[in-house]
């Protein structure tokens, strides 16, 4: 099966191989650029995330894609669905805000006129869980603004299941990447 | 030109374009509908009791207990792109230390249009407590019934269905039920 492909590869020559590698690399790079550019616009480190757990069912299932925003100077409100990541925790969690507390800080003995969004204390809960998330906060009593990656604005079902499948079956990832790479090298036009 | 690769490539590209356009149209179609949810909310009693915290065994904390009546018709929010409604009751107040609080103490997931006509008389589902552990000195609280419309595909939207006329004061904490 592969003898024919190898023959075409030999016929096309070294320059063509280089060109195709370059093409492949530029496709990868532009994907990364779009992702990072989106991150700049929405002010979050990961503007698109895939749901990994069932704690928000029936709203979000495993493999659904969420689009996040993180408006820098706006406070979060209850009912917002946030994605947060606490230091020491590997996986970001998608849960809904149950309580917000806008703390007024005292700086150098002077009480600030109004609460600032970055001093907000937050409590979250998964729609499908019975209890709130205090047990998940790694010893913290409240979630703080700096732990929050963003809030969910848009929703696309099932599409992200590919990534979950690739994580669950690493062979699939190798096969897919290898296949794509080979195809890119061998294609003639 | 007519190799198997080219054909597979063309077919899959066409299919994914069509699916993406359809999904986009579906997401946009949500803006065509003009929902008019109606409802009324009544808070029948607010009581405050002292109790122990969940986390620290000997620390004391006050808990508020709220009972309420909801009658609401949210069925106009159900269109063909509505996956579910997340309906929740919010209390909003400022405590003695100037901290502005918004707390959800009851919620419900509505998945069918038939269930969107609600008549609920209930009590709080989640512990309602203050960050400073005491309600003493807090302003009166505003109670609101809100909803979050979650689509099959597209943008999440939020809204308010009903609110209690005028704020309600927290009573003084009691040690035991009489």
ipTM: 0.86
Q: What is the pLDDT of residues A64-117, one digit of tens each?
A: 999 999 988 889 999 999 999 988 888 889 999 999 999 888 888 888 878 888
User: Per-residue pLDDT averaged across A21-27, rounded?
Assistant: 89
| pLDDT tens by residue, chain B, 178 residues | 678 888 898 999 999 999 999 999 999 998 888 889 999 999 999 999 998 888 888 888 999 999 999 999 999 999 989 999 999 999 999 999 889 999 999 999 999 999 999 999 999 999 999 988 889 889 999 999 999 999 999 899 999 999 998 899 999 888 877 7
The answer to whether A80 touches A97, Cβ cutoff 8 Å, is yes
The larger pLDDT score, comparing residue A41 to residue B178, is at: A41
Q: Per the domain annotation, does B140 fall within a domain? A: yes
> Which of A111, A121, A154 is nearest residue B131 as measured by Cβ atoms?
A121
Write a three-state SS string for chain B.
CCCHHHHHHHHHHHHHHHHHHHHHHHHHHCCCCCCCCEEEEEEEEEEEEEEECCCCCCCEEEEEEEEEEEEEECHHHCCCCEEEEEEEEEEEEECCCCCEEEEEEEEEEECCHHHHEEEEEEECCCCEECCCCCCCCCCCEEEEEEEEEEECCEECEEEEEEECCCCECCCCCECCCC
Residue A172 has pLDDT above 90, yes or no: no
Q: What is the pLDDT of residues B86-103, one digit of tens each?
A: 999 999 999 998 899 999
- Flag if A58 and B100 touch (Cβ within 8 Å): no
Residue B100 lies in a domain: yes
For residue A36, name the pLDDT band (cuts at 50, 70, 90).
Answer: very high
Same domain, B18 and B51: no
All residues of chain B having their beta carbon less than 8 Å from the beta carbon of residue A157 are 152-153
A122 shares contact with chain B (CB less than 8 Å): no
Residues of B in contact with A187 (CB under 8 A): 5
The structural domain count of chain B equals 2
**Residues B134, B72 contacting (CB under 8 angstroms):** no
Quick one: what percent of chain A has pLDDT higher than 90? 31
User: Between chains, do A58 and B84 touch, taking CB under 8 Å as contact?
Assistant: yes
Contact B151 A183 (CB under 8 A): no
Residue B174 domain-assigned (yes or no): no
Same domain? B71 vs B139: yes
Give yes or no for a cis peptide into A58 (omega within 30° of 0): yes
Same domain, B28 and B97: no
A57 touches chain B (CB under 8 A): no
The reply to whether B170 falls in a domain is no
| B133 and B122 housed in the same domain | yes
Q: DSSP character for A131? A: S
Same-domain check for residues B19 and B100: no
* Torsion angles phi and psi, residue B10, rounded to 5: -60, -50
| A99 at B interface, C-beta within 8 A | yes
Residues 6+ apart with CB under 8 A from B173: B48, B49, B50, B62, B134, B135, B136
Other Cβ atoms within 10 Å of A175 Cβ, number: 12
Contacts of B158 in chain A (CB under 8 A): 77, 79
- B47 and B13 in one domain? no
The partner residue sitting opposite A134, judged by closest CB among B55, B86, B98, is B55
- Mean pLDDT value across chain B: 91
pLDDT band at residue A178 using 50, 70 and 90 as cut-offs: confident
Question: CA angle, B110 as apex, B124 and A151 as ends, to 5°?
Answer: 80
Q: Are residues B25 and B51 in the same domain?
A: no
Q: Residue A189: pLDDT above 60?
A: no
Distance from CA of A155 to the nearest CA of B (A): 5
Give the three-class secondary structure for A178: helix
B121 and B136 housed in the same domain = yes
The number of residues in chain A equals 189
Contact A98 B97 (CB under 8 A): no
pLDDT, residue A72, reads 85
Is B26 in the same domain as B95?
no
Residues B66 and B82 in one domain: yes
- Read off the pLDDT of each residue in A29-55 and give the average, rounded to a whole number: 90
Contacts of B149 (CB under 8 A, 6+ apart): B77, B82, B85, B156, B157, B158, B159
What's the pLDDT score for residue A24? Answer: 85
Return the closest-CA partner of residue A67 out of A166, A157, A136, A133: A157
* Residue in the block written with tokens 């002077």: A110
On whether residue B175 sits in a domain, the answer given is no
Dist. CA A185–CA B9, nearest whole Å: 15
- Beta-bridge mates of residue B155: A154
Q: Residue B43 falls within a domain, yes or no?
A: yes
What proportions of chain A, in percent to the nearest 5, are helix, strand and coil?
40, 25, 40
- A13 or B88, which is more confident: B88
pLDDT value at A9 more than 80: no
Catalytically annotated residues of A: 55, 95, 133
* Angstrom distance (rounded) from CA B20 to CA B28: 12
Pair (B55, B141) in one structural domain: yes
Is there a domain that residue B83 lies in? yes
Query: 3-state DSSP call for residue A124?
Result: strand
Residue A187: pLDDT band (50, 70, 90) is low
> Does the residue B64 lie in any domain?
yes
Same domain, B48 and B128: yes
What is the predicted pLDDT for the residue at A188? 59
Ordered structural domains, chain A, with CATH? 2-42+168-186 (no CATH), 48-158 (2.10.109.10)
Contact yes or no for A58 and B102 at CB 8 A? no
Domain ranges, residue B135: 34-163
């Amino acid at each position: 099966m592969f003898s024919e492909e190898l023959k075409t590869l030999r016929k096309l020559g070294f320059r063509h191989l280089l060109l195709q590698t370059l093409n492949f690399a530029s496709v990868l790079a532009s994907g990364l650029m779009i992702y990072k550019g989106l991150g700049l616009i929405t002010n979050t480190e990961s503007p698109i995330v895939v749901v990994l757990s069932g704690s928000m069912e029936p709203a979000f299932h495993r493999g659904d894609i969420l689009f996040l925003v993180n408006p820098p100077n706006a406070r979060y409100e209850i009912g917002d669905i946030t994605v947060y990541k606490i230091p020491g925790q590997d996986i970001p969690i998608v849960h809904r805000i149950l309580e917000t507390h806008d703390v007024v800080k005292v700086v150098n003995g002077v009480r600030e006129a109004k609460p600032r969004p970055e001093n907000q204390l937050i409590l979250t809960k998964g729609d499908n869980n019975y209890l709130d998330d205090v047990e998940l906060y790694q010893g913290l009593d409240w979630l703080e603004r700096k732990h929050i990656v963003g809030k969910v604005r848009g929703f696309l079902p099932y599409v992200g299941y590919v990534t979950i499948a690739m994580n669950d079956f690493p062979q699939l990832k190798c096969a897919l990447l290898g296949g794509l790479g080979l195809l890119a090298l061998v294609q003639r036009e | 030109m007519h190799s198997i690769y080219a054909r597979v490539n063309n077919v899959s590209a066409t299919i994914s374009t069509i699916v993406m356009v359809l999904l986009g149209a579906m997401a946009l179609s949500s803006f065509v509908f003009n929902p008019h949810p109606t409802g009324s909310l009544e808070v029948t009693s607010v009581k405050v009791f002292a109790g122990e915290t969940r986390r620290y065994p000997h620390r004391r904390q006050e808990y508020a207990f709220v009972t309420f009546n909801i009658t609401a018709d949210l069925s106009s929010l159900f269109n063909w792109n509505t996956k579910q409604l997340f309906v929740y009751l919010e209390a909003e107040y400022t405590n003695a230390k100037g901290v502005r609080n918004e707390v959800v103490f009851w919620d419900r997931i509505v998945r069918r249009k038939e269930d969107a006509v609600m008549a609920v008389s209930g009590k709080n589902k989640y512990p309602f407590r203050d960050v400073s552990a005491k309600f003493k000195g807090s302003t009166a609280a505003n109670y609101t019934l809100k909803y979050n419309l979650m689509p099959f595909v597209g943008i999440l939207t939020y809204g308010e269905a009903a609110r209690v006329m005028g704020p309600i004061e927290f009573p003084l904490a009691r040690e035991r039920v009489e």
